[in-house]
Chain A
Amino acid sequence: MLAVQQLEAGYGESVILRQVTLQVKPGQVVCLLGRNGVGKTTLMKSIMGVLKARRGTVTFKGNDLTKRPPGERAKKGIGYVPQGREIFPQLTVFENVLLGLEAAKGKKRHLAIPESAIAKFPVLPAMYDRRGGDLSGGQQQQLAFARALAAGPELLLLDEPCEGIQPSIVEDIRDVIRSIKSGGEMSILLAEQSLEFVKSVGDYFYIIEKGSIAWEGGLSDLNDEVIRHYLTV
């Protein structure tokens, strides 16, 4: 579904990612692990197109998207929940969710917000008239999720969705990811620090170190030795 080949990307002069190759299969939850500053967010941004790739390719459903702008990638079916949530602060919650429909194809974008996007976040409709910037971090995270789900993406990029979020909402997010997974229609690429969290939802794991994939494997391969070697500080 998503294939990243030999990707190289960075900011200005500095190169952050080197020769990153990974893939996400349909219906799979793939997790990116790694210590702070190894390039997880940079990789997410390059897949979304916010950062231009210096070398390598990003292919989604057989289409080469390497040179395409973020908007086109969104329309092709990639939903993005960025680190820091990036809610539009002066827009109402409702408007924020409506903007998620921009990526939906054709006439669908003028229809109402799909039930499926909101059903997972029952707290949102009660806050529709409040401004996005006035919500708490956890509420904003749920809003960012609903916004990304509104267009019905086939691949969801989740960049540290549990960062700085209270435990009960982390549980909600875990449930959402699980229900998406059991639906089987959406793949997820998840970057997350919490090992416990990714182990509970992930199918396949990549560990990044110094901008390259240092290890990859399934849940059973992710043993204590691997964790000690790559992830403990």
Chain B
Amino acid sequence: MDVVVLQLFNGISVSSILLLIALGLSITFGLMKVINMAHGELIMIGAYTAYVVQNLFTSYMPASLFGWYFVLAIPASFIVAFLFGLVLEMGLIRFLYGRPLDSLLATWGVGLMLQQIARSIFGAPNVGVTSPEWLNGGMTVLGDVVLPYKRLFILGLVLVCLFLMYVYIYRSHSGRRMRAVMQNREMAACLGISTRRVDAVTFAIGSGIAGIAGCALTLIGPIGPSIGTYYIVDAFMVVVLGGVGKLVGTVFGAVGIGLSNTLFEYWTTASLGKVLVFLCIVAFLQWKPSGLVAMRSRSLDN
């Protein structure tokens, strides 16, 4: 029983991390169809922002307030990554809409540049971010199963991000404009929507969420300039498996991969488990190329 609960929790925890890194991509890739290879580096930017905020707190704030740095680091990561995304969209992506191969290459180049910049500023070795005191330890359930607070916090953070994204995309004026532009750019423009601004803001929001993901990743391990490259493949896999263009799909994709990954790793070994997950995804996409949640509509037959 303990093992089941623990594995289930691990699975959900892995899912939540996958979901967090894929949420931003579900906007830039899922909605905007931009293959942004620099997504991982936006995660890296978020992580280093958290590191900088931590250092600022140790230098300038009384030690008693140190625990609160992380609360500030989350919005700071979002804002910094948001601004990077905005600049990236206005300086590069804007000219590459509808040219997937070009944008793939260009954003990959940008990713390499960002990695090198991080290396120049922060040095090549990994840096550690000290988790705030209130996130250490864990909750004990069922006698001896310990659920670490950090993992629970990430889970909660994902739920909050998901909720805010849902409200923004499906309930707000700007979200409506965003969906209109992504579905029919020309007609949206004819109705008086500024498609340029919507594109820039949408891309920036996707980038900002990647920044939050990076901030959360500092809780589970050290961070380095190439941290993004470890996550970019997983992020794309989640979005593609879930079905491009739907928030729910990304959630299902993340939960599917997260749970099966934990399950296979428990039954076999870590590397074999990963191989099995990949095989399952390949097989599934052969069967359903449009992913778990496909868009269906009369007018979307093409």
Give the B-binding residues of A (Cβ under 8 A).
48-50, 69-72, 74-75, 80, 82, 86-91, 95, 98-100, 102-103, 110, 131-135, 147, 151
Contact = CB atoms under 8 A, between A and B. Distances in A.
B189 A69 contact: yes
B298 A133 contact: yes
Contact of B189 (A50, A90, A135): A50
A110 B183 contact: no
A89 B176 contact: no
B191 A89 contact: no
Interface of B: 173, 176-177, 179-180, 183-184, 186-195, 295, 297-300
Nearest to A157: B190
Contact of A99 (B191, B295, B298, B300): B191
Given A88-B184, A91-B183, A71 B299 contact: no
Contact of B298 (A72, A82, A89, A103): A89
A56 B195 CA distance: 26
A88 B189 CA distance: 12
Contact of A88 (B173, B183, B195): B183
A71 B179 contact: no
Given A95-B176, A99-B177, A89 B190 contact: no
A89 B297 contact: yes
> Which secondary structure characterizes the binding site on chain B?
helix
A74 B192 contact: yes
A153 to B, nearest CB: 10
A19 B7 CA distance: 73
B34 to A, nearest CB: 19
A133 to B, nearest CB: 3
Main secondary structure of the interface of A (DSSP, over half): helix
A133 B300 CA distance: 8
B297 A147 contact: no
B190 A50 contact: yes
Contacts of B295: 90
A90 B190 contact: no
Contacts of B180: 88, 91, 95, 99
B298 A102 contact: no
A87 B299 contact: yes
23 contacts: A48-B190, A70-B190, A71-B193, A71-B195, A74-B192, A82-B190, A88-B180, A88-B184, A88-B187, A89-B297, A91-B180, A91-B183, A95-B176, A95-B179, A99-B176, A99-B180, A99-B188, A99-B191, A99-B193, A102-B193, A103-B192, A131-B297, A134-B298
A74 B194 CA distance: 11
Contacts of A69: 189
Nearest to A98: B176
B174 to A, nearest CB: 11
A106 to B, nearest CB: 12
B77 to A, nearest CB: 31
A91 B176 contact: yes
A107 B151 CA distance: 45
Nearest to B298: A133
A71 B190 contact: yes
